[in-house]
Amino acid sequence: MSRTRPRCQANGFTLVEVLIALVLLAMLMLILTSALRTMGQVETRVEQRVEDADDYRLATALLDQALARASARRYPSGNADNAAQVPFFQGGPNALAWVGVMPARYGLGGRHYLRLALEPGEGGARLVLRYAPWTGAPGFDAWGQAAGQVLAAPASALSFRYLDPGTGQWSPVWPPAGVPVSALPANLLPGAVALQVDGPTPPWPPLIVALTPPYATDPSATLGSFGGGTR
């Protein structure tokens, strides 16, 4: 008499169940990958914004310190009636050149010829501060050979205005057109310079720097007239 063996029950998964599990796993991996990519992009944007904000603070601090203490030294204008009555300050509507003290914290220090203007570059125009050691000459034109530092890029437009402390009016050039030397302040310099830069990211707000010439070069200064710019 033969005995029948009990049938063994199958313990594995069917093909349909395996396919469903693989699809669910693939969807989970896709969601996780997308979430990680989004987190990475957010972190990159945050780091870029922090870097841009730091660049802006450094640029404006440099301008504050270099421009605020513009030299009030004078040199002969070539006109016998106004000899020694021209300042080391050439303020135009789109560029500014002056003699000022570069902050020692930037590794330079000392009096320099400086110019702030837009210059062409990769990806568009850039706001560049050019500087060269001061030699005592009444002017400096070799800006192409001068050292430079990019303060903002890209920059689509740059404009300046200059405050006449006597009238309280802003002028697009300095000295103001048609104003005689005798009508200018004793140091022949504007009371403040307003700077507007368009194009950088993040956008630059208007920057106003009050000028406080060093005592040694300002014939109208008092012993307490040392200071920096303000925004």
Q: Largest Cα–Cα distance of the chain, in whole Å?
A: 142
Mean pLDDT of 23-31: 87
pLDDT reading at 225 higher than 50? no
Q: Look at residue 157 in the predicted model and tell me its pLDDT.
A: 94
Which residues lie below 8 Å from residue 200, measured CB to CB, with a gap of 6+? 56, 127, 152, 153, 154, 155
> Which of the 8 DSSP states describes residue 97?
E
Which residues lie below 8 Å from residue 210, measured CB to CB, with a gap of 6+? 68, 191, 192, 229, 230
Look up tokens 């080391």; give the residue: 88
Mean pLDDT of 30-50: 75
Domain map (residue ranges) of the chain: 50-217
pLDDT reading at 49 higher than 50? yes
pLDDT band at 82 (very low <50, low <70, confident <90, very high): low
Q: Look at residue 120 in the predicted model and tell me its pLDDT.
A: 92
pLDDT reading at 161 higher than 80? yes
Neighbours of 116 (CB within 10 A): 23
Q: Are 126 and 150 in contact (CB under 8 A)?
A: yes
Tell me what percent of the residues of the chain surpass a pLDDT of 90: 26
Handedness of CA 165, 168, 171, 175 (dihedral sign): negative
More confident residue, 168 or 223: 168
Instruction: Give the Cα separation of 133 and 135 in Å (integer).
Output: 6
